[in-house]
Each structure stands twice: as structure tokens, then as C-alpha cells.
Structure 1
Amino acid sequence: MMIENPEDVLVDAAGQRHAPFAGDARIVSLVPSLTELVCDLGLAPSLVGRTGFCVHPREVLKGVTKVGGTKDVNLERLRALEATHVIVNIDENRKECVEEIARWVPHVIVTHPCMPEDNLAVYRLFGALFGRQAEAAGLVAGLEAALADARATGACLPPEKVLYLIWREPWMSVARSTYISATLATVGWETWPAGDEPRYPAFEWDAPWLAGVERVFLSSEPYRFQARHVAEVAALAGRPAVLIDGEMASWYGSRAVEGLRYLSHLRRQLAGFAPGPQ
């Protein structure tokens, strides 16, 4: 059995090698799902800044300073927080903003989960950086179990081609290159259209590829699809349509564990092999 090199755990998605931090960390997270992970690792007391989209866990974050959004960070406010570490993501944060932050913040941690399995490395990285190895190990075990269950669910049911809606006017879906698509694929849902680019394609309801779609999902984010939209979409698509919790399909970090369990249950439920929502 190959033994993991402890030093490899400390390399982030940009290839930067970090060192365990021995002092009192002052963390700013510019990634909503990873703000939740920071808290779940027991690091909430070290969290000094977040974006306005960082909403979980709500009670814990009420007293944490907001520094703007993921794309429009208030750099002056962030700088005043004297952070030792800033957590960013390749897809969610602007490269030029991250480069500016790196000019005065000692440690910028770059992340880029592209599929649920990638969260394992993020857990281990954060755990090793901030002395939370035990908590990280618990998340690793939880995710590995959730992944095994999700894959078993996908293996025992026929693959299903789905359209995952994220926006209305224009109607928009997700490409195969997205984290959302990879997460849905774990339980046997194949997203359409079939390409990798653009990552969030707009489409019209007369597109030829829609003929192969078997089910439509209406996500709760970023557009807040609601029950009143289901009948409209079902009529347009001529296919079954159902609401889906967007956080469970698109948030990585610690939410990925609950997300995979949710999707496994929903997959079985829609196939007639599980009871309704718990």
C-alpha cells in the first residue's frame, strides 16, 4: 500500500507548498462553501472575514466581517483585517484580485475542486495547515462513505440523462466540465448538453439535443426556482421536472458529504426505491 507523503498534503491547487501554521491564524474566506468547511473544522474563532454569500453556518457567521462578494472584494476592508490566510477558489474569485491580495497577505490558499473526490485533498490540506487533522480525518471518512453509497446508487440504476437548470431568461444549464455535473454523475445522472464549454450554456427549448433528456432539475440557486416554475418547465420540456437543492449539488467543502447523501436518496426516490424527503 502506498503511504501518502505528508508534504504532498500541504500543496494547494496552484501548486503552492504551505507549512503548518503555528501562531494565531486570522482567516478570511472568499469561498462560501469553504467558509462552512472552516467552521466545521472548529476554526470559527480564527475566521475574521467572509463574503456576503458566505451564509453557513448562519448563527456563527453573524459576527464575522463581510468583505464584499466573491467577484467584487473590498480590498481595503480585507487589508484592515490583517489576515494571515485568505482562502480563494480558481472558479469563484477573479485572478487579478487574488494576485493583489497576495501582495500583502502572507498565505493565500488556492482551491479548485472539480469533482466530489477532490474535497478529500481540501480537507487534508486545511487540517494540516491549521492543526485540525482529527477533524479533517472525520470529514474524509464521511465523504468516502458518502461517495461509496452514491456510486452504489448509480451502479444499481440505469443512467438517466438530465437537464440541470440554473437560470431563467435566458434559460441556462451546466456543462460536463462543472463540479455540479461531476457530482450528479456520481449517482448516475448524466447532464446535457454534452459539451464542456461554455461551462454554463444558454439554450432554447427547440434545441435538438433536448430530445435525449429524460428529466429536468430546477435548482434553488443561483436562480431561485420555486414550485410555481415546475409546471412551466415540464410543459416546455415535455419531460418530468422537479426542484432540487442547489447547495447539495454545487457546494463543495464539508457540504459535499451531506450533498452526496441527499442526491443518493433523491435518485432512489425518483426511481421509486426510497421514501420521500426526510
Structure 2
Amino acid sequence: MLTITDDLGTQHHFSETPKRIISLVPSLTETLYELGLENEIMGITKFCVHPYHLKSLKIIVGGTKKVHIEKIKALNPDVIIANKEENTLEIVDSLRDICPVFVTDIVTVEDTLKTITDFGQLFKRTTDAKKWTEKIQFAHTDFERFMETKQWQKAAYLIWREPYMVAGSDTFINEMLKLNKFENIYEKFEGRYPEVEIRKMRIQGDPDLVLLSSEPYPFKEEHAFEIGRVTHHAKTIFVDGEMFSWYGTRLFKAFQYFKALQNRIEE
């Protein structure tokens, strides 16, 4: 009997190792795959795009905010992987009658390491989990050394347009900004992803950098021009949204990406 507590404090009891997994979290689908669990993954969301081949091999059970209950039930899962931010409480509650729903809540690097360790315990992949946590810890330390001589810069991280929305406090993105010594001018705004008026950006924080994410909104050159007209001196940079918002094993690649981004900013 395995007893494990998820990030919402719910205790889950398993008489044997779960063999049929449904993941409702794109970055954690990738993490499960990296832990050697491809064959155990039965269902994924339409946003689970890494590794790409899974979409043609696994059952798509909906999105992250809306799922097909009957499709999930038909897959007879042993466990469903969810996330407090990605999935709604309504979805989680509606699935609890099918099987245990293991809910993660990931904001920091430490949260990421804990989730990977939890998965190692839950799915009997402790060796693989330890390998990944050690790789991420090493990359994290290496990046911190790389950043020692860098200066803090004020930044805004845009995730949506019409209305414009930014990453605020208590988000994984905000933690990644801090690691890059980007001071988030919207950190003290109410809400995790507040709506903002870009014409007020200068008086609200006058950023040195405006980061335009590749997801969930695909910002283009015309948007950078639009923003540049009101921010004046701020440097507008397109960034890979997955590197800033995907937790799990993706974090290892993110630290290498952040190094390249820092070098690009200095050009």
C-alpha cells in the first residue's frame, strides 16, 4: 500500500503502482514521458504537444479547462494528474468519482523538484526522478553563478492581447523572471494575470524590457511595434513562453535558454 499526499493536502492510497495514467497538464505529460512512463500514459489534452508523437498515439480527452468525462471514464485510469492553475476545481471534482486525482501546485523551482520526486515515488521511477532532480539542481546552480554579475532590470511579461494581460505575482513565470533578475513591474498588481493598459505602462513601472510570450497568445512584429510606440525606451523581446511557464523536466532546458536570452539582451 502506497500513501501519498498531493499539493492540495489530499491523501491518496494505492494498493499497487498506478499503470494507467491520464495527464491534464501539458508540461507534466512531458515530465511523465521523461520519467519513462510513455506506455502508462493513456490520455492527454490537446495542448500536450511535447513530445509531439504522443498526440497521434494517445487518446485526446479535451483541453485543460474542459474535458470529456466519458472519454476519461472509458480509459479506466488508475490516476489522473491535474494542476491547481491549469485545471479548474470543477473539473477535478467531477473526476474524483472515476479514480484518484493527484493535484499539483507548482510555483517555484523547489515545487518542481518536489513534483518530480512525488512522481518517482508514485510510479516507482525513483531512479529516473533522482536523475532529473539532480540535473535540474545542477543547471539551477550553474545559472545562478552565470547571473551573479548581471544587473536587475525592470520588466513586463505579456501573455495576452485584447485585453492585454501580464504575468503577476504568485506565478511560475514570475519566479522565472526573478531568476533572470527581471523585476516584474506588475508583481504588486492584484491577481495572478492582471489586465493592463499598455499606454499606462510607463507610469506604472517604466520597464527596461517588455517580454512578449509565444504562448498562450502568439505575439507578432506588429504587436511589438504597437507596444514600442507607448513604452519608448523599453526593449521589446520575443520569448519562448514554454521556457517561462512549463515546469517539470522542461526546467532543465529552460536554464540553457535563459543563458542565451541574457546574451541576446546584451547585444
Q: Among residues 71, 93, 96, which one is paired with 2:87 in the alignment?
A: 93
Question: Conserved in 1, the CA contact under 8 Å of 2:198 and 2:227?
Answer: no
Against the structure 1 CA distance between its residues 21 and 38, is the aligned structure 2 distance closer, same or farther, given a 3 Å change threshold? farther
Question: Match for 2:171 among 169, 178, 203?
Answer: 178
Residues 221-261 of structure 1: per-residue CA shift (max 9 Å, x gap): 01001344333322232111010000000001111111122
Q: 1:50–1:67: 8 Å Cα contact kept in structure 2? A: yes
Equivalent residues in 2 for 1:1-278 (5 A)? Answer: 10-18=4-12, 22-23=16-17, 25-105=19-99, 107-195=100-188, 197-207=190-200, 209-238=203-232, 239-272=234-267
Partner SS, residue 148 of structure 2: helix
RMSD over aligned Cα atoms: 1.9
CA contact (8 A) 1:163 1:215 kept: yes
Provide the C-alpha distance between the structure 1 equivalents of 2:34 and 2:205, rounded to a whole number of angstroms.
Answer: 43
Distance in 1 (CA, whole Å) between partners of 2:96 and 2:76 is: 12
Deviations 1:116-147 (A, max 9, x none): 22111011000111111111111101110121
Higher deviation after alignment, 195-204 or 28-37:
195-204
Residue 23 of structure 1: how far off its partner (Å): 4.6
Shift in Å at residue 269 of structure 1?
A: 3.1
Change (3 A) 1:184 1:20: farther
Larger deviation: 39-48 or 162-171?
162-171
* Aligned mates of 2:199, 2:225 — CA distance in 1: 18
2 CA distance for matches of 1:183 and 1:246? 11
Counterpart of 2:218, as a letter, is R
- List runs of 5+ in structure 2 lacking aligned partners: none
SS at match of 1:35: helix
More strand by share: 2
Aligned partners of 2:17 and 2:124 also within 8 Å: no
Q: Which runs of 5+ in 1 are unaligned?
A: 1-6, 273-278
The count of residues paired between Structure 1 and Structure 2 equals 264
**Separation of aligned partners in 2, 1:54 and 1:31:** 7
Asked if structure 2 preserves the Cα contact closer than 8 Å seen for 1:153 and 1:268, the reply is: no
Q: Which amino acid aligns with 1:37?
A: T
Amino-acid identity (%): 34
> For the Cα contact (< 8 Å) 2:18–2:122, is it kept in 1?
no
Alpha-carbon distance in structure 2 between the residues aligned to 1:229 and 1:270? 19
Task: Provide TM-score, normalisation by structure 2.
Answer: 0.92
Partner of 1:3: none
Distance in 1 of aligned mates of 2:248 and 2:221: 28
